[in-house]
């Protein structure tokens, strides 16, 4: 079961824009309730296994702008967006973190989320974990993952394996797991219930009058125009594209003003033996300093090893030939800074900006130093931090030198977690949508993706996105889309 190509004129009771973690789960709930659902996706359907993970081919076929997008600032922050059926669930590492209970309670309190029971959301998370087969790896951990575990254990830092949404059809061979992304789980389930998925369809704007949207103006893959009529619309394009679409449709309010991300800095570490796993990531993470700071491992194919050395290429390029003995790791922070998504007339993509606070910059500095120390404890021979002017590190004395030289403005800062551009809740001064995702001031326009999360959760947000999307979609079914 797969998708159909979008056509010039389509209609549905419910239009869902986007097919990722928010869109796919929303479509499943509504279709299984008997509603007429049409999902539209700007990208195409790419079967798992058709492209090599973390390759240039994957970036071209499944990422927006080939994976090269940036939030402007000092420093600018590179970010990635999935642009394919299944969205970001098709290209991420499949690591799963359910939303922390204390964070849910804080969101409820500070953003006045109505009729919200954190226990209900965690119960929905239980359902999601069964549907996407969240589990630990069945066999031995990879060498890059063991490096994180052993370094943290040596330092006495809290650490553990993060489960993944994977199946392992080849027994305990963890390197041959199959990610249970939306194209493997919720999208087939939605389509089995009667939902349609049309790919190659960009929604340019919604036709809105007096708070009611009646149609979506689209551009098809061949550049021809199209139009979709509907009764209700769920915007699920992600934390960048959803607010941009609303703005292009003349909807502003508190839309796109509070982008929250988890900025990361990285390093490459070289060891005595071969450790590189080109097409997977470590499953261990270090949470000793959570929720403010955490450590994990990145994809580390030869090209990404070279990229991690690029900031100080003049002195670090000598190491690239040792890529089989190297792996890339990151330090991620929960940022106090915020960004903006701004749609500009006659431009296809929005302008995205982000401002790190002084605290964020210092936390990145200390995070990179602590990550370097962890690598040394794991018996790294040499560590190569990713910032301009960085010295290589071989011992603890070098860590202090490196920390002193670090400036966030010199570093390659990036993120893969974006949220909070249409925060949910009843505090209209700060929230773009109500407690169930209906855009404030609109009758039939909903957001149901990472945009709704009130703040950055400090962990991978996709579990939170799926749980909230299912909660909100069930409320829509129960009320027939009427405001209660």
The catalytic residues are 417
Given a contact cutoff of 8 angstroms between Cβ atoms, the answer to whether 269 and 375 are in contact is yes
Helix (H), strand (E) at residue 9: strand 9-11
| Four-residue CA torsion sign, 42, 354, 440, 119 | positive
The SS3 call for residue 333 is: strand
Q: What DSSP string runs through 17-62?
A: E--SHHHHHHHHHHHHTT--EEEEESSB---TTSS-TTSHHHHHHH
Nearest to 154 by CA among 396, 383, 368, 331: 396
For 298-350, list the strands marked E by DSSP: 326-333, 338-342
* Distance between CA atoms of residues 453 and 462, nearest Å: 10
| Four-residue CA torsion sign, 214, 219, 225, 226 | negative
Q: Look up residue 433 and give its two tokens.
A: 């949508």
| Angle, helices 101-111/118-131, rounded to nearest 10 degrees | 130
Q: Look up residue 292 and give its two tokens.
A: 């403010």
Separation in Å, CA 343 to CA 204, 245, 247:
11, 8, 6
Helix (H), strand (E) at residue 265: strand 264-270
């Amino acid at each position: 079961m797969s998708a159909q190509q979008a056509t010039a004129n389509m209609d549905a009771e419910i239009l869902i824009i986007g097919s990722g973690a928010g869109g796919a789960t929303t479509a499943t709930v509504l279709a299984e309730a008997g509603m007429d659902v049409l999902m539209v996706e700007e990208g195409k359907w790419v079967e798992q296994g058709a492209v090599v993970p973390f390759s240039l081919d994957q970036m071209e076929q499944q990422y927006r702008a080939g994976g090269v997008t940036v939030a402007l600032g000092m420093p600018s922050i590179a970010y990635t967006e999935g642009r394919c059926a299944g969205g970001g669930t098709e290209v991420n590492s499949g690591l799963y973190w359910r939303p922390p209970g204390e964070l849910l309670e804080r969101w409820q309190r500070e953003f006045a989320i109505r009729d919200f029971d954190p226990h209900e959301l965690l119960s929905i998370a239980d359902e999601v974990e069964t549907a996407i087969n969240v589990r630990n790896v069945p066999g031995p951990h990879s060498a890059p993952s063991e490096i994180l575990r052993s370094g943290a254990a040596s330092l006495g830092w809290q650490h553990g394996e993060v489960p993944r949404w994977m199946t392992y059809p080849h027994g305990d061979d963890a390197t041959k797991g199959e990610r249970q992304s939306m194209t493997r789980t919720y999208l087939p389930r939605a389509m089995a219930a009667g939902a349609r998925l049309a790919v190659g369809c960009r929604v340019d704007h919604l036709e809105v009058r007096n708070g009611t949207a009646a149609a979506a103006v689209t551009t098809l893959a061949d550049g021809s125009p199209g139009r979709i009529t509907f009764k209700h619309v769920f915007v699920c394009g992600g934390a960048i594209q959803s607010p941009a679409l609303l703005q292009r449709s003349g909807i502003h309010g508190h839309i796109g003003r509070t982008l929250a991300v988890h900025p990361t800095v990285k390093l490459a570490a070289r060891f005595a033996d071969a450790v590189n796993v080109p097409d997977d990531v470590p499953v261990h993470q270090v949470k000793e300093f959570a929720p403010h700071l955490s450590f994990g491992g990145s994809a580390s194919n030869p090209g990404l090893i070279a990229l991690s050395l690029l900031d100080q290429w003049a002195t670090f390029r000598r190491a690239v030939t040792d890529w089989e003995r190297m792996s890339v790791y990151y330090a991620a922070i929960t940022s106090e800074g915020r960004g903006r998504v701004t749609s500009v007339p006659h431009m296809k993509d929005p302008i995205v900006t982000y401002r790190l606070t002084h605290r964020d910059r210092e936390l990145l500095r200390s995070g990179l130093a602590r990550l370097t120390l962890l690598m040394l404890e794991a018996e790294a021979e040499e560590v190569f931090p990713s910032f301009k002017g960085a010295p290589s590190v071989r011992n603890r004395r070098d860590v202090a030198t490196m920390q002193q030289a670090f400036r966030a403005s010199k570093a390659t800062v990036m993120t893969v977690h974006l949220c909070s551009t249409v925060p949910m809740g009843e505090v209209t001064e700060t929230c773009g949508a109500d407690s169930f995702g209906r855009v404030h001031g609109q009758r039939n326009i909903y957001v149901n993706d990472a945009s709704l999360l009130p703040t950055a959760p400090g962990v991978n947000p996709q579990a939170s996105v799926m749980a909230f999307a299912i909660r909100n979609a069930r409320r829509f079914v129960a009320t027939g889309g009427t405001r209660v």
